[in-house]
Chains A and B, each alone.
Chain A
Amino acid sequence: MASALPTFTKIGKVIRLNRHGCTNRPFYHIVVQKTKDNQDGPVIEQVGSFDAMPNSKNEKLVALNFERIQYWLAQGAGLSDPVAQLLGLSGFLPNHPRTLIQAWKNRREPPRERKIKAIKGIAPPLDNPKL
């Protein structure tokens, strides 16, 4: 058993999504921040972006700076689930269990009828029954 693994001590920094964009049009920055800071608070470094709205070719564009992500992971930064999922889908990390779980749930029962088309993929489905 390796002794005193320094990567596992928490350094208080995390790689997560910061919501930018406008109302009903989210655009996320993938960002390294201190865990205590608010989502729209000070940012240490931006390390990518994620557009949750599919474009004209039905693509959701994700940008990732793998070198810097590797650096921060080596320093001991945490990962939030959505970012981990994105990295898994990109191939940098192994696939997150959540992707598989969501996939088999979607296959099992089709989502209920909604007035606004549900965004399939990483963004969670709408919960408001009024929509």
Chain B
Amino acid sequence: MASLGGEALTVTHVEKKKKPPARYWEDPPQQAGNGDNNRGTDGEQAGRQTEQQTPKAKKRKENEDRGDGNKFLSGKADRFPGPAPIPEDRLQKFKRKEKMKKPRRQHYKLKDMIARSEENSEMSQIQAARLDLLLPEDAGFLEGDEGEDTCTISQEDIAESVDITSKTKYFDLKLSQFGPYRVDYSQTGRQVLLGGRRGHIACIDWQSKQLTCEINVMESVNDVKWLHSEAMYAVAQKKWLHIYDSNGIELHCIRKFNDVLRMQFLPYHFLLATASATSFLQYLDVSVGKEVAAICTKTGRLDVMCQNPQNAVIHLGHANGTVTLWTPNQKEALVKMLCHHGAVRSVAVDKTGTYMVTSGMDKKLKVFDIRTFKPLKSYFLPAGASCLSLSQRGLLSAATGDIVQVYRDVWSTPVTKPYMAHRVQKTVWGTHFCPFEDVLGVGHGDGFTSMLIPGAGEPNIDGLDANPFRSAKQRQEWEVKALLEKVQPELISLNPTELGMVDRAASEIKHQDRVKALGFDPLAKVKFVPKYKKKGRSSSGNIEKRKRQVGHEDQRDDIRKTAEDRVKIEKERRQKEKKEAVLSSQKSALDRFRK
């Protein structure tokens, strides 16, 4: 503003200023005047003569010209001064919490501590966002021609147009004898576990197509699930829950868990959650082999189950159309949601723990926001979806009869057409997206199909968590570390960050907890027991008298208090009356018509 308005004024102002003494290292002024490109110590003086601005404005302009004013020895200015900008969405991705709103008065130590920790968290956020730009892999995608639906592109087409390694990921296993099959991929996505209804169990390293083990348990199999590593898996058989190792040797038969229909494994808690036909939800700690909780849900047969990977809450779907949320710490459901008019057929929760997708017998597919427990979208599927499964990048697979449909962005945009579709030989029994791969495993009546779904898997793996390329040594190390930091089942709650928050429970609640923990009330008034006095002065009469005195003291306190209160009330009443009297004195002419 100064440079705009002060043009005329500054002339005299500058003229008045004393010229700096000439120095031999400076260029002669007439030479420096025409060259705007040589910006040195002399450039400043040259500009002052030619452009005739106030020194302040000049300086400001120069700063703008040079950006940060960083200069190298060569005299060139840095064209991109300062740290490189980071896109806002990347920063948002790594944001953990909002900046703390500062209360009015803070202790100086606390203020300092908060400031420092906030600085640290901001730095870590920025560094993580910077590293995010350098991640090596990009997600897969599938784009059709203009006007072409991607759902019409067949698996064969895709398999033909991708590289050889990916091509081998599309395959069919024809296992018509013991089907239909349940599917489960291991945490790293290297192994697939197939469980045939009629007792056939197979573990396959599906990328190299090597069979790790194959057994027939000679019993009906309801569900199969990998435990924390590829070394062990659980099988829900006709009566009991069994645990096998990767060689197919039965390690345990757990008689406490009967008639299990569905299972979920909580990898960070080492808990195997099972839902049974007897409406029991049970938790097995697989690291110590103990039953952590057994909850009778009293809702009938439980054959719809999924977990929220963000907070380890188990979602159960019921025949009356409700979905209930459970933790091992509470005997009642945390939340009961009425989702469908018919029975719930399948439930799935996305990786971020934000959205829940349900399908019901009313042939609807619904999307809920489980932070607010509100419905977001509702779709009508003519055949209804039987198996739902969500991929790491949010693709939804829904099986209707023998067709597997994959949808994209079901929660953000209203979807009209599937992203991909594929027909398998017989009715689909279980679907599971392979982690870190663009692959959907479909178990059906006629075996197992591995489909290519571009854009399903998370492209960049984290080597310290689930690493598909880990060696045996790395796996061992990971296993020890994971066991050491096993999260206790008591910490499961709807909000996983609750542990890092300040407990603002009222002092009354805290006191109640303390009473419960101690078994007595530490702040309770002690019953007055008069001291024993010798020489006959502690006769029973005397004791009673002393007790009465103390009692009277208490009474007196109460009486004093009530008297004070009464005085106070009286005072207030009088003031109020006074006010009213003042008001009533200003009567208007219309007041006489009032009652």
| A interacts with B | no
